[in-house]
Amino acid sequence: MAKIIVIGGGVAGLSAGIYAKMSGHDVTVYEAHTVAGGNLTGWQRGPYHIDNCVHWLTGTNRKTETYKMWERLGALGSTGVYEPQSLYTYYEDGQSVSLYRDINKFEKQLLSLSPGDEKATKALINAVNGAAFLCGLCGQNFRGLFELYKCTRMSTGELADRFRHPLIRGFLSSFLTDGFSAAALVFVFASFCYGNADLPRGGSKAMAERMTNRFIYLGGRLCTGTEVRELIHGKRTAGAVLLSDGTVDFADHFIITTDLLSYKSLTGKPLPDRFLKLYNDKRLKKFSSVHFAFACSAPLSFKGDLLLRLDKELSDGLGAEYIALREFSHEPGFAPDGETVLQAFFFCGEQSCRDFIIMSDNNSLYENKKKQLYEAVYAFIVKTFPELSGKLKLIDMWTPATYKRYTDSGSGTYMSFAFSAGFIPKRLNNRADGFDNVFFATQWLQPPGGLPIAASAGRDAIKTINRIEKLKIKNSALREGAPLNP
C-alpha cells in the first residue's frame, strides 16, 4: 500500500481516488473548491437548478468498457440513465433536422428532406456504423470503416459541403463548429445512435456527488477548499505538497489532475516539450463558451438541445455563427412546477476566451459586456420564439473568465483541444518527465478531453502506480532472496 496525493478533485481526481482505494492505497484528494467535481457541476439559483456539463455521456451502453468504468466509479447510480430520443435539433427558417436515437429514422429524415443527397446520406450513415463497429457497439462493417477513414481526412465543414441541402449543411456544421475533424462528429453520432451517449439521472452535479460519495465510502480522504500551492521535490522525487492553509502533506506518489499549464507553478519546472508541442500544435484549438440561464414561464415548442444559425449582425457581434438553446424538462426537479430552465450558449475561440479573462479584471467593463451580450441574445430568442416575450428572466450568466476562476484552466476552457481534420488523437504518456513518482491524470493528455477521457486518465495513473509498487515488492523480494512464485 502506498500513500498517494491527488491534486484536483474533478472527474480525473475523483476517478484516481476511487481506483486508488480499490487498489488498497491510502489516498487524499485536495480540491481548491468547496465541492469536488470540477467542470462536472451544476448549481442552484433560488428554486432553479443550473446544470452545466453533460450533454452526452459516452459510455452509457452496458456492452462497453467505459460503462464498466462508470459503474466502478459509482457515477450512474442505481436509477439508470435518461435516454433522449434526439441528441440535438438544428432549426432554420421554420424547418428542422434532428439527430435521432433511431439511426433508420435519422436516415429516412435526411432522405425525405433531400432525395438528391442520397449518396452523401448513405456515406454518412455508413461512417456512423463504421465508428459504432470500432467502439464495439455493432457488428463488422467494412464499408463503414472505409467511409469513416474518409471522415478522418475532412473537417465537419467539408463533410457538410458534401450535401446540397442547406439545412443538412447547417445541421452538420453547427454541432461541433466547422473546423473540427468530421470523424469526431461521426463518433458522437455513433455513440448516440447506439445507446452509448445518454444522460446521467439528476444531471451533472448529481453524477459528481455520486462519485464523491463513492470515494468517501471507500475510505478516501477529500479535502475541499484546499489548494495545492507547490509540489515540494528533490532532483527526481517529489516528497510533499504545500497547501493553501500553510501546512505540508507527505506522500509516496503524486497525481496532477489540473490543466497541464499549472505544472510550472506547481513544480517550478517548465512543462515538458511533448506537452508544449500539444499546446502549440496548429491543428489543435482551444475553445470555451458564453452561457445564459433563464427561468422560463411559458411552454417551449422544442425538446432537448436546439441549434440555430445567428443572423449576420448578431453573428459578427458575438463572434459566433450559431447559438444553442437547451431545456431540461426531463429533470422536473430543476424548476418549480409550470416553469423550466432555458439555457443558451455560444462557442468562442481562444482569443475571445483571453479577452474575457482580461476584461474580467475590470468589473464595470466586464459587467457591461455581459449586459450587452445578454440583451442581444435575449432579443434573438424572443424574435425566434415570440411566445417567449416577457416569459424569460435571466438567472445567471457565465463566460470563459468564470471557467478560469472556477477550475484555473489556462484559457478558460473546459474541454482540452478541438482537433481538426487529419489529426488522430492519442493518449500521451502519464509520467511526469524527470520525476519518479509524479503522474498526470487529466483530460489534457488526450484531445478532445471530456468526461470519459478524464476518468480513464485517473484510472490509468493508478494502474501505473500499481505497476511501480509491484516492481518495488518484486525487487525487495529478490534482494531478500525470497521465492517469487512458490
Ligand X SMILES: Cc1cc2nc3c(=O)[nH]c(=O)nc-3n(C[C@H](O)[C@H](O)[C@H](O)COP(=O)(O)OP(=O)(O)OC[C@H]3O[C@@H](n4cnc5c(N)ncnc54)[C@H](O)[C@@H]3O)c2cc1C
Residue 449 near ligand X by CB under 6 A: yes
Residue 407 near ligand X by CB under 6 A: yes
Place of cell 456527488: 209
Binding mask 224-243 for ligand X (x = CB under 6 A): ---xx---------------
Number of residues that bind ligand X (CB under 6 A): 36
Of residues 31 and 209, the one with the C-beta less far from ligand X: 31
Of residues 167 and 341, the one with the C-beta less far from ligand X: 341
Residue 10 near ligand X by CB under 6 A: yes
Give the bridge partners for 348, in sequence order. 288
Nearest residue to 79 via CA among 193, 192, 207, 205: 207
Residue 400 near ligand X by CB under 6 A: no
**Measured from the CB of residue 408, what is the shortest distance to ligand X in angstroms?**
4
- What is the rounded CA–CA span in Å between residue 183 and residue 102? 20
Residue burial 322-359, b: 16+ Cβ < 10 Å; e: rest = bbbbbbbeebeebbeeebbbbbbbbbbbbebbbbbbeb
Q: Are 100 and 113 in contact (CB under 8 A)?
A: no
- What is the rounded CA–CA span in Å between residue 381 and residue 72? 42
Of residues 10 and 17, the one with the C-beta less far from ligand X: 10
Binding mask 300-339 for ligand X (x = CB under 6 A): ----------------------------------------
Please choose, out of 17-25, 311-319, 394-402, 447-455, the segment that lies near ligand X by the rule CB under 6 A. 447-455
Please choose, out of 5-13, 61-69, 184-192, 334-342, the segment that lies near ligand X by the rule CB under 6 A. 5-13
Q: Are 6 and 27 in contact (CB under 8 A)?
A: yes
Please choose, out of 31-39, 64-72, 140-148, 171-179, the segment that lies near ligand X by the rule CB under 6 A. 31-39
Q: Which of residues 91-130 bind ligand X (CB under 6 A)?
A: none
Judged by CB under 6 A, which of 61, 96, 141, 258 binds ligand X?
Answer: 258
**Measured from the CB of residue 476, what is the shortest distance to ligand X in angstroms?**
33
Region of 27 on the Ramachandran plot (φ > 0 left; ψ -120 to 50 alpha; else beta): beta
Residue 451 near ligand X by CB under 6 A: yes
Judged by CB under 6 A, which of 74, 200, 220, 450 binds ligand X?
Answer: 450
Of residues 262 and 329, the one with the C-beta less far from ligand X: 262
Residue ranges that bind ligand X, judged by CB under 6 A = 7-13, 30-33, 38-40, 52-57, 227-228, 257-258, 262, 407-409, 414-415, 442-443, 449-451, 454
